[in-house]
Structure 1
């Protein structure tokens, strides 16, 4: 693990003095591919909301459950995972290919560290690809030559936007337009999974505000929480799979919940929808 902000082994194009969303998330998950500046942001976040690690872990667990659901229940064998982040235990391709070995996955990210590590990991995997791209420019992603060559847009595709859209820094309604571009391009029978920083507009709003402030004061550039209605706008045109839009901890958990939820575990809401 790099121990200072000017790590000489940083991949070309990586600025180890600026925090990265992917590397901070990696740090929250206990990974090793992060720098001192990323861990400082993580400390600021955990200082504001000590249980924020729970939120990161729940988001990852949601990804794994969604992968299992789609691979085992829907017949979909193609995946476009936007903002995939750093490779860690149980990545999308590992989960779905264990259940359906023929599954193909394209990951999209714009972080040079993600690209360097991901491409090395996937070097000999013919069914999985990683491309560099800005997920907020849907046309560029959807028309990318690797995406078009690797995925068949005449057959259903699973699109993942997990913990990505709340990092968009433009107008609030632009995220919904971004999602409409993606959904419009998907064939009928495709599935879309979203998780998003959630503003419950309740007593938990104080927790949301504390975490939002910590992110804004750090070098990640902020994250925008959305209300239930605003997140539902991101899912326009989709038929939601039960139980609909809920905190990710409540989306088909692996077993009964014996412990009460923490405030942070309510901060990420998620849903899976099917395109008619």
Structure 2
């Protein structure tokens, strides 16, 4: 494993919640603190299906990486906002299909980096960068020689764009997606999904809670049409955009009346035009 860090890497702060550690708790992990568990408790009051959604999202990540490696022939993956390593990470899924597949994880959460030092140390085809995902030029420079940027890459933005606020500059999520798409070779793929809700009270309540508990390290719960805008520079794959539970499922998804009605993980796969 290669590990790249920058001066912006922070110490682990156990006095405020972390979205990555909250996600870990929702998946049944142990890499979290009481402040994260308390934040999850408050989050579940606003959006009771959150734990179910975290698992649905993780299942989608496994399926989409497996599909990209097996069906699309992708052997390079760039995972933005990777979160804490858990069972069946991107490199594990991809390398089961393609043993030589290379995976770069990008995350600036210090606990993610600390965990990566121990869990990925013996895997020479993984790289971990302690960068803000919006520093696209730095990421490109740091991965030169590890990734072949002249060949197709799958760039993953799975359940992470809701952590980024809307801005009027190049840090805006839509601008970030456009910039990364412009760096990738034709025929590359981008996987983009985020939490959305049709209920204004859920959007506002979750956004405010997460803004408070993470002390500003949060963006916004959006609507489906806003996620569609992220795909403007891409050719959307035939499956389209959807609740990710319906994206090439391994088994029959639950009927609509048994699904969450507070929020869902919405998105899909786009291809960089040839």
Q: What TM-score results when the alignment is normalised by the length of structure 1?
A: 0.88
Shift of 1:210: 3.7
Contact preservation (8 Å) 1:20, 1:220: no
The answer as to whether partners of 1:155 and 1:187 remain within 8 angstroms in 2 is yes
What is the rounded CA distance, in whole Å, between the counterparts of 2:178 and 2:219 in structure 1?
21
- Residue 3 (structure 1) aligns with: none
Pick aligned residue for 2:250 from 247, 250, 254: 254
- Provide the C-alpha distance between the structure 1 equivalents of 2:175 and 2:58, rounded to a whole number of angstroms: 26
Alignment partner of 1:102 out of 78, 100, 103 = 100
- Cα drift, residue 23 of structure 1: 0.6
Consecutive unaligned residues of structure 2, counting only runs of 5 or more, are 1-9
Q: Distance in 1 between matches of 2:185 and 2:126?
A: 20
Match of 2:266 in 1: 269
Gaps of 5+ in 1: 1-11
Report the Cα offset of residue 215 of structure 1.
Answer: 2.2
How far apart are 1:258 and its partner, in Å?
Answer: 4.0
Indicate the residue corresponding to 1:149 in structure 2.
145
1:49-198 alignment to 2 at 5 Å? Answer: 49-144=47-142, 147-171=143-167, 174-198=172-196
SS in 1 for 2:144: helix
> What displacement does 1:205 show?
4.2
Whole-angstrom distance in 1 between the partners of 2:168 and 2:24: 26
Secondary structure of residue in 2 paired with 1:150: coil
Measure, in 2, the Cα distance between the counterparts of 1:234 and 1:211: 21
User: Match for residue 5 of structure 2?
Assistant: none
Paired residues of 1:190 and 1:274 also in contact (CA < 8 A): yes
The alpha-carbon deviation at position 33 of structure 1 amounts to: 0.4
Shift of 1:38: 0.8
- 1:215 matched residue in structure 2: 210
Q: How far apart are the structure 2 equivalents of 1:172 and 1:245?
A: 25
Matches within 5 A, 1:33-52: 33-52=31-50
Q: Residue 48 of structure 2: SS of its match in structure 1?
A: coil
What's the offset of the Cα at 1:220?
5.2
Match of 2:235 in 1: 239
User: 1:67 touches 1:96 (CA, 8 Å); kept in 2?
Assistant: yes
- With 133-142 and 92-101 compared, the bigger mean Cα shift is at 133-142
Cα RMSD over matched residues?
Answer: 1.8
Does the CA contact (< 8 Å) of 2:120 and 2:126 recur in 1?
yes
Aligned-pair CA distance for 1:169:
2.8
Q: Distance in 2 between matches of 1:172 and 1:31?
A: 36
Deviation at 1:180, TM superposition (A): 1.0
Give the superposition deviation at 1:42: 0.7
Count of aligned positions: 259
